[in-house]
Amino acid sequence: MIKKPYLLFVGDVQDAIYAKTAAGVKYWRPEQAAGQFRFPGGVDLGLPDYDMKAAVDAGLKTILIGVAPQGGKLPQNWLDFLMEGLKAGLDIASGLHVRLAEVPELKAAAEKYNRRIFDVRFPTQSFNVGTGAPREGKRLLTVGTDCAVGKMYAALALEKEMQSRGLKATFRATGQTGILIAGSGVSVDAVVSDFISGATEYLSPANSPDHWDILEGQGSLYHPAYAGVSLGLLHGAQADAIVVCHQAGRENVKGIEGYALPTLKDCIALNLQMGGRTNPNITCIGININTSSLSEDAAMDYLKKTEDELGLPCADPVRTGVGPIVDKLIKDKI
Amino acid sequence: MIKKPYLLFVGDVQDAIYAKTAAGVKYWRPEQAAGQFRFPGGVDLGLPDYDMKAAVDAGLKTILIGVAPQGGKLPQNWLDFLMEGLKAGLDIASGLHVRLAEVPELKAAAEKYNRRIFDVRFPTQSFNVGTGAPREGKRLLTVGTDCAVGKMYAALALEKEMQSRGLKATFRATGQTGILIAGSGVSVDAVVSDFISGATEYLSPANSPDHWDILEGQGSLYHPAYAGVSLGLLHGAQADAIVVCHQAGRENVKGIEGYALPTLKDCIALNLQMGGRTNPNITCIGININTSSLSEDAAMDYLKKTEDELGLPCADPVRTGVGPIVDKLIKDKI
C-alpha cells in the first residue's frame, strides 16, 4: 500500500495531456493530490508547488511520477530530484517501464534513507492459481470492445456514483495508472499467465454481501494479443455485473491491422457467455461510450440509439455521467 | 536449443510411473535417449547405464532430469551427481520447479566448466506482444475439456502419424515435459500474461505452406484458473485445425469443485468460435479420448458412439492410433 498524500511530479511536461497519470490522480483522488513538483516551464495542475523539504514539512508522503520521460530514459535532473526526495523522507511510486527500484543510485539511496520505491507495473507478490470457488460480496467488471476505450475511467466513475448513492463500492485497479490512483492493485497483464485468475481473486477477495468491488478491465476478448488477460480477469472476477465500454467511431482494433471490432451486442453476449463459467448470474447492466470525438448532438443521438437498440442504459461518463447505469443496478437488485 | 542425445536421470525412483518425463522422452524420441543414470535400486528404462565419464565418452551431451525429487528439495546425492556431470562435460536440462541454474553450487560449476543449465519451466527470452498478422504454414492445436487429458500425447502422436505419411510436421512444445521431449519450446503458462499470444506466435513462426506445426495445448477454455492461457494460445496459434482431447469418465474439472466439464460438442463449438477470431478457417478434425480406464469393448463402444454423435474421427492415441484423424486432414485438404 502506497502512503499518501502524493507529491505529483510533472517534470518539464508543458501540456496537461502528457501528464495524464498526474491529472487522473488529481481528478479521481483530489484529497490525495496535495502538491506538485515541476521543473521551470512545467504544466501547472493547480496544486501548491513544493520542493522536497517543504513537501515533507507539509505532510506529503510519496512522490508520484505523473509523466513519462521522453524516449523512456531517466534524465539526470529527474534522478537528482528523486534522490533528493528519498533523502528528505519521501517514498516514490512509479508506473514507468524502467524499474526505479533497480536504478543503482535510487536503490542505494532508498536503502540508505530507509524509503520505499513502488514500481507498480511489476507485481512483487506471488499469487496462487485461481480456485474458481464462489465468494461473498458483489463484483462489477468493466470490459471493452478494444484496449483504451475507457474501462478504467468507467470503473472510477461507477465507484464515485455508487458511493454518492450510499452504496459500498471499491475501485480495484488492474493497470499501472489505476494502481497509482487507488494506491494499490495488481498490474494483471504483468502477472505470469498461470496466475491471471488467481491474481484477480486476490485483488477482489470475499467481502460483505452488500459490498461492490468495481474492477478495471483490461484488453478485450476480441483482442488478438491480449484476450487471454481479459478472459483470466473475467473468470477470476466472477463478475455479477459487467459494463461494456467502447469508443464512438472506432471500427478496428487499435494498432493492429485486419481486426474489425465486434458489435456491442456481440461483445455483451460473448462476455456473458464466458463470464458465466465462474458466475452463472452474470449480467450486463450498461454501456459506456467515449463520445469525445462527437458533437453534443451527435453524442446524444449515439447514446439514445445505442440504448434503444440494446435495451440497456448507455452513458458517457464525462458527458452524461453514469447515473442511469447505477439506477439499473439498484432497480434490478443485482 | 538443448544438445542431444540425453542421459536420462531417474535417480532412485523405483516405479516407472514416477519417471514419466524420462519414459516420455524414451518413447517419443528414442534416438535421443542414449543412456540412463540411476542410483542403486532405480528403475531400469532398458537403456545403457552410464556414469558421467562414460556418458561423455559415448557422445552424450545433456543430463535430462527425468524424475522429480520427493518433497521438491534437491537431495545431496543428486547435487553430487549433477556437479560431477557438469565437470565431466555434460549440460543439464530440467523441468523442475526449483531452478537448477540458481542453485549456488551448480551455478558455480556451470560457470567454471562452461556448461549450460536449462530450466525449461522458466522462459529466459523476452517476447513481443502478439501481432495477430496471418502467417504462412499450417498449424494444428490440441485443445481439451480439462487439464491433463492427453493434449501433449495427442500432439506427439499426430506428429508421428503425419510424418509417417510423408507430411511435414513439427511438434511444438508449450509445457516442460514437451520441451524436454522436443529439445526446445516455450513453457507458455510461465510467460507474462501480456505476451501469451506473442510467445505462441514466436513458437510457431511462418513456415512453408505445406508444413504443419503441431502445437501442444494447455488447460482448457472452461478451466476457471487457466482459461486465459488456453485462449492466448488459441489466438496466437491461429490454428487451421484443432483436435479436442478428453478423458473418458472425467465429469468435473480436476482438482476444482463445482465445475462440470463441457460436452465435447460444446467444447468444439467454443474453441472454433474463439479461434475463429485469428483464423476464420479454423476447423475441428477429430477427437482424442484417453480410454485407459475402460475395457477394450467399452473403449471401442465409447469411441464409436462419440464418432457417430459428432461426425468426426474419434481415436485413442494409445489404443487405436490417430490414423483416422490424419486421414481426415488429408482428405479434407485442410
pLDDT tens per residue across span A181-228: 999 999 999 999 999 999 999 999 999 999 999 999 999 999 999 999
User: How far apart, in whole angstroms, are the C-alpha atoms of residue B325 and residue B212?
Assistant: 14
Binned at pLDDT 50, 70 and 90, residue A72 comes out as confident
CATH hierarchy code of domain B138-331:
3.40.50.300
Nine-digit cell string for B276: 475463429
CA distances from A128 to A186, A193, A196, A236, B217 (A): 13, 11, 9, 12, 22
- Does B190 sit within 8 Å of A226, measured CB to CB? no
Q: What is the tens place of the pLDDT at every residue in A220-260? A: 999 999 999 999 999 999 999 999 999 999 999 999 999 99
- Does B189 sit within 8 Å of A278, measured CB to CB? no
- Does B235 sit within 8 Å of A228, measured CB to CB? yes
Beta bridge pairs of residue A214: A140, A171
Nine-digit cell string for B220: 482448457
In chain B, which residues have their Cβ closer than 8 Å to the Cβ of A131?
224-225, 256
What distance in Å separates residue B274's CA from the closest CA in chain A?
A: 8
Looking at chain A, list the stretches that DSSP marks H as alpha helix, in order from N- to C-terminal side: 20-28, 52-57, 76-88, 104-113, 151-164, 176-182, 196-203, 227-237, 264-275, 296-310, 323-331
What is the pTM for the complete model shown? 0.95
User: How far apart, in whole angstroms, are the C-alpha atoms of residue B289 and residue B142?
Assistant: 12
B106 touches B83 (CB < 8 A):
yes
Nine-digit cell string for A153: 475511467
ipTM of this complex prediction, to 2 decimal places? 0.94
Which residue's C-alpha cell is 445505442? A306
A99 touches A122 (CB < 8 A):
yes
Contacts of B14 (CB under 8 A, 6+ apart): B41, B42, B43
- Does A189 sit within 8 Å of B227, measured CB to CB? no
User: How far apart, in whole angstroms, are the C-alpha atoms of residue A82 and residue B263?
Assistant: 58
- Does B228 sit within 8 Å of A235, measured CB to CB? yes
Query: Residue A69 has what pLDDT?
Result: 82
* Average pLDDT over every residue of A287-316: 98
Q: What is the tens place of the pLDDT at every residue in B163-177? A: 999 999 999 999 999
Q: Is A90 helix (H, G, I), strand (E, B) or coil?
A: coil
B220 touches B271 (CB < 8 A):
no
What distance in Å separates residue B38's CA from the closest CA in chain A?
A: 33
Question: Among A243, A270, A118, A258, which Cα is nearest to A179's?
Answer: A118
A177 touches A251 (CB < 8 A):
no
Taken as a whole, chain A contains a residue count of 334
Domain residue extents for chain A: 6-119, 138-331
- CB contact A191 to B (< 8 Å): yes
Which residue's C-alpha cell is 481528478? A27
Orientation of helix B227-237 relative to helix A227-237, angle to 10° = 160
Binned at pLDDT 50, 70 and 90, residue B104 comes out as very high
- CB contact B215 to A (< 8 Å): no
If you ran DSSP here, which 8-state letter would residue A192 be given? B
Binned at pLDDT 50, 70 and 90, residue A14 comes out as confident
CATH superfamily of B6-119: NAD(P)-binding Rossmann-like Domain (3.40.50.720)
- CB contact A280 to B (< 8 Å): no
* Average pLDDT over every residue of A79-85: 96
The Cβ of residue B107 has, within 10 Å, a number of other Cβ atoms equal to: 14
Q: Is A84 helix (H, G, I), strand (E, B) or coil?
A: helix
Q: What is the tens place of the pLDDT at every residue in B47-82? A: 999 999 999 999 999 999 999 887 778 899 999 999
The Cβ of residue B293 has, within 10 Å, a number of other Cβ atoms equal to: 11
Q: In terms of C-beta density within 10 A (0-12 exposed, 13-18 middle, 19 or more buried), how is residue B326 classed?
A: buried
Question: Among A144, A140, A174, A145, which Cα is nearest to A157's?
Answer: A140
The Cβ of residue B10 has, within 10 Å, a number of other Cβ atoms equal to: 25
Mean of pLDDT over chain A: 96
In chain B, which residues have their Cβ closer than 8 Å to the Cβ of A145?
none
- CB contact B253 to A (< 8 Å): yes
Query: Residue A120 has what pLDDT?
Result: 95
- CB contact A194 to B (< 8 Å): yes
